[in-house]
Chains A and B, each alone.
Chain A
Amino acid sequence: MNDFLITPSDDDGTLARLRLRLERAAAAEGLLDVAYTTVDSPVGTLLLAATPKGLVRVAYGIEDHDHVLDTLAQRLSQRVLRAPKRLDAAARELDEYFGRRRQMFDLPLDLSLSKGFRQLVQRHLPEIGYGQTRTYGQVAELVGNPKAARAVGTACATNPLPLVVPCHRVLPADGTPGRYVGGREAKVTLLSLEAA
């Protein structure tokens, strides 16, 4: 009966403009604790999230992006906003990586989502160069704890920054691709991309 009050006319355009204005104002006021965006890639839609310190999360679709955002809100800050601008550099470097025009990522990272031994492993993973692979046991040796192959596996499985921190280059000793946070198929895709 009173529908005339809730009939939107050109709200979509207006709201898109207002969203952009909010993104800018929030960044300017230091309120953009977690900015995120999603990008398409050969391994599916990726969610990219960054704090003012740097890229904090890369998430595959199979991780459930809504769930990932909930977790970021619990663990980092509830001030989570879709704000693509902060992710421009990360999105560009990933695009270059998938286009075989980039072999190393040059991005500020925020490793605050992992702690202790897991973070130690994740810090060392970029030492495995493009197109190379290591076994879990070799990585355990690399971080000075040769008996910790299983814990290295856990560190890889809980890597908050897959792709950029290259846990896909770590394999079981039996020659199979092994498990991967983005699924086995994504791991094979990345390994063959880098082998080409």
Chain B
Amino acid sequence: MREPFEKLVEQHAGTVLRVCRVMLGSHDAEDAWSETFLAALRGYPDLPDTANTEAWLVTIARRKAIDVLRARKRQPAPVEEVPEAPTALGIPGGDDADLWHAVAGLPDKQRQAVAYHYVAGLPYAEIAGILGGSTDAARRAAADGIKNLRKSYQGATTEGAPS
């Protein structure tokens, strides 16, 4: 028995938003979120009853994020729209944008593995299915990603991190 689509939105809206942020940063994440849930609503009646709905949503979100990244490459943002604001990067308690900035700096595979495991909570076997490669490789990519984040994002150090 398949539950009403509304339940998926209630349960996974926040997770999908955070996955999209990890992939794209705060602004474009909202477009990817919208595209993800609209595509999911369209395809929902055809989803097999046994499917893991969260993994399914994350897979769609990944595809939509890649679409956004491709579109970005085709249309580079005009330089005048990027403000020369001082960055709070590295200052504990600074805006969340710093975190997303640090995450965005990770190599692609690490960024995705971190998003799917630590943000979406998917097991490594599912992540291997999404990324291709072995379960061990997915686990290693996530671990390397976290190690790199510790170096580049001060908020992640023991004294700065929320308990």
Contacts and interface: CB of A to CB of B under 8 A. Distances in A.
Interface string A53-88: 000000000000000011011100111111000000
Contacts of B18: 5-6, 8
A69 B14 contact: no
Interface in A17-73: 17-19, 21-22, 25-26, 29, 31, 34, 36, 69-70, 72-73
Contacts of A29: 38, 42
Contacts of A25: 34, 38
Contacts of B3: 70, 73, 78
B39 to A, nearest CB: 10
Query: Which of B41, B114, B162, B163 has the most chain A CB atoms inside 10 A of its CB?
Result: B41
A182 B16 CA distance: 38
B51 to A, nearest CB: 13
A79 B44 contact: yes
A15 interface: yes
A22 B156 contact: no
Contacts of B156: 2, 4
A79 B5 contact: yes
A151 B83 CA distance: 72
B2 interface: yes
A174 interface: no
B146 interface: yes
Contacts of B13: 15, 18-19
A11 interface: yes
B155 interface: yes
Dominant secondary structure at the A interface: helix
B38 A2 contact: no
Given A15-B17, A29-B38, A79-B45, A4 B5 contact: no
B41 A81 contact: yes
B6 A18 contact: no
A69 B9 CA distance: 14
Interface residues of A, number: 33
Contacts of A176: none
B4 interface: yes
Contact of B162 (A4, A26, A34, A69): A4
A77 B99 contact: no
B131 interface: no
B79 interface: no
Contact of B118 (A2, A31, A79, A80): A2
Contacts of B30: 14, 17-18
A3 interface: yes
B96 interface: yes
Contacts of A34: 4
Contacts of B1: 70, 74
Contact of A18 (B17, B99, B146): B17
15 contacts: A3-B163, A5-B22, A6-B119, A8-B18, A15-B13, A15-B14, A18-B17, A18-B34, A70-B3, A73-B5, A78-B44, A79-B45, A80-B5, A81-B4, A81-B9
Interface of B: 1-6, 9, 13-14, 17-18, 22, 30, 33-34, 37-38, 41-42, 44-45, 96, 99, 103, 114, 118-119, 146, 153, 155-156, 161-163
